[in-house]
Amino acid sequence: MEDKWFKKGFKHTKFYSEDDNIFSLKDEEIDDDCIAYASDQSAYESESESDGKRRSRPANLNAFDLISFSPGFSLSGLFEDGSKESRFVTGAPVSKIVSKLEEIAKVVSFSMRKKDCRISLEGSREGVKGPLTITVEIFELTPKLRVVEVKKKAGDKGEYEEFCERELRPGLRPLMLPGTCEPSRLVPGPDEERNKG
Amino acid sequence: MGCFNSTVRKPVPGHENPTILASQTAFSVSEVEALFELFKSISSSVIDDGLINKEEFQLALFKNRKKENLFANRIFDLFDVKQKGVIDFGDFVRALNVFHPNAPQEDKISFCFKLYDMDGTGFIERQEVKQMLIALLCESELKLADDTIEIILDKTFSEADVDQDGKIDKSEWHNFVTKNPSLLKIMTLPYLRDITTTFPSFVFNSEVEEIAT
């Protein structure tokens, strides 16, 4: 399925059910990590509508959402050697996160699309696996804290990792809380184990 | 189609009849055979005995056989229904069945409850959730202060623990998950729909094809 040949003409339609309705998603609008996979979806939708500004009410994360971030729960590791997501906690408001991303996108001439708290950055260079596309999603953890999640949606893994190392992470670092550790390895070092924050 | 008496092939250790497994699950016979290809590669990676042990499971998930992980341990324990410390092919298929996109929601909700009920008391206690949350924070890039952790736990339990007894029982869990369907995201593997494409070597090994010759 990774091979472009298989994808020719293939329309991957995903369905999700919410509140007893079945919705289908067009691939280019939202992908399988749709509906800001976090709890409190109703708050996410109704608040943004009632505010009249469909802008930036992020979806809320509860304890189980956080726990489910663990790669130990992700059996997709059995099937693919995918790029891991990256997450960090910030005290910055959504608008500041978004404008930081805009800055970064501008520097590398990536296009940026935004739908509520979900941002897509896309490069123009056609690599072997197509243009690098990165999804950034913002969630609310507490009234003072947001969680920013970054993952590769399309493109070459090496290119993605390079982009994260050289542009994305340094650009976002000012927003990260002090003491945020750099995610360089799979196995936490001894000091990380003790530092539970 | 499949024939029960296909004894032409010598039995591979850990290999249950794919037709029987297919009839018990949402998988077709070809899909079970494709899963067998996956199972073979995982179960032979450290000890070639037709069974997946904890190290092999860790190797498959993390590409690191020594990586201990609280959550992977929970999943392993639930796959290992006979509690023998190893997962056989039948266990593997039946457990993965719950993760199939077409598997009943009830099964997913139930499996997920057991996952979080670490000590198997039939309740998800606040202390258990705190322990899991701290474990998650240790292994991830996320760092949170103690009082933030308490705020998150308070928020979660005020929504989930309706009778406010400090723990979430099965029916509270059921209601909570129904209101927050994203919590079941970890319980579905879209890859399972494409399994025969991901593991095409089954085509050459298929019992069904051999019968024709």
**Sites in chain B below the pLDDT cut of 50:** 10, 202-204, 206-207, 209-213
Instruction: Tell me the mean pLDDT in the region A82-108.
Output: 90
A51 Cβ neighbours under 8 A, 6+ residues apart: A57
CA–CA separation, B141 and A148 (whole Å): 11
Note the pLDDT of residue B141: 77
pLDDT score recorded for residue A185: 37
Cβ contact, residue pair B141, A71, below 8 Å: no
Range scoring the smallest mean pLDDT among A47-51, A119-123, A124-128, B204-208: A47-51
3-state secondary structure of B68: coil
Residues 80-119 of chain A whose Cβ lies under 8 A from any Cβ of chain B: 80-81, 86-89
Q: Name which of A18, A32, A62 is nearest B181 (Cβ-Cβ).
A: A18
CA distance A78 to B36: 13
What is the model's pLDDT at position B145?
92
Measure the CA–CA gap between B164 and B35, rounded to whole angstroms. Answer: 43
What pLDDT does A157 receive? 85
B123-158 burial string, b = 16+ CB within 10 Å, else e? bbbbebbeebbbbbbbbbbbbbeeebbebbbebbbe
| pLDDT tens for each residue of A32-81 | 444 444 444 444 444 444 444 445 588 899 999 999 999 888 888 888 76
Query: Smallest CA–CA separation between A135 and chain B, in Å?
Result: 18
Q: Give A 157-196 residues with CB within 8 A of chain B.
A: 177, 179-183, 186-188, 192-193, 195-196
Residue A14 in tokens: 């995903």
Interface check A45 vs B, CB under 8 A: no
What local confidence, expressed as pLDDT, does residue B193 receive?
87
Q: Is A43 exposed, middle or buried (0-12, 13-18, 19+ CB in 10 A)?
A: middle
Residues of B in contact with A82 (CB under 8 A): none
CB pairs < 8 Å spanning A and B: 158
Calculate the alpha carbon distances from B149 to A127, A196, B126 in Å: 42, 10, 12
Find chain B residues with C-beta within 8 A of A69's C-beta.
136, 140, 142
pLDDT at residue number B36: 92
More confident residue, A84 or B146: B146
Q: How many CA atoms lie within 13 A of B13 on its CB side?
A: 9
pLDDT of residue B86: 96
Contacts of A1 (CB under 8 A, 6+ apart): A7, B194, B197, B198
What average pLDDT does this structure show over A11-22? 47
The average pLDDT across A127-140 equals 88
Percent of chain A with pLDDT over 70: 60
CA of B51, closest CA in chain A: separation in Å?
A: 15
A19 dihedral zone (left: phi>0; alpha: psi -120 to 50; beta): left
Considering only alpha carbons, which residue of chain B is nearest residue A144?
B148
Share of residues in chain A with pLDDT > 90 (%): 39
**Cα separation, A32 vs B93, whole angstroms:** 24
Burial of A34 (0-12, 13-18, 19+ CB in 10 A): middle
Q: Looking at residue A112, what is its pLDDT?
A: 94
Give yes or no for a contact between B75 and A72, defined as CB atoms under 8 angstroms apart: yes
pLDDT reported for residue A126 = 74
**Taking the model in full, what pTM does it have?**
0.74
CB within 8 Å: B62 and A186: yes
- Residue B7 and residue B26: Cα distance in Å, rounded? 25
Q: To which residue do tokens 């309706």 refer? A: B162
Per residue in A157-186, pLDDT (tens digit) is 888 999 999 999 999 999 988 766 555 433
Beta strands, E only, chain A: 14-18, 21-25, 59-60, 86-90, 111-115, 118-122, 133-142, 145-154
Chain A residues closer than 8 Å to B153 by CB? 63
Pairing of strands A86-90, A145-154: antiparallel
CA separation for the pair A173, A171 (Å, rounded): 6
Whose CA is closest to B96, among B187, B196, B14?
B187
The whole-angstrom distance between A172's CA and the closest CA on chain B is 14
Higher pLDDT, B36 or A197: B36
Report the 10 Å Cβ neighbour count for B77: 16
Question: Do A142 and B38 count as a contact with CB atoms less than 8 A apart?
Answer: no
Do residues B14 and B50 make contact, with C-beta atoms less than 8 angstroms apart?
Answer: yes
pLDDT: is A2 or A146 the higher one?
Answer: A146
pLDDT at B175: 97
Please write the tens of the pLDDT for every residue from A53-66: 445 588 899 999 99
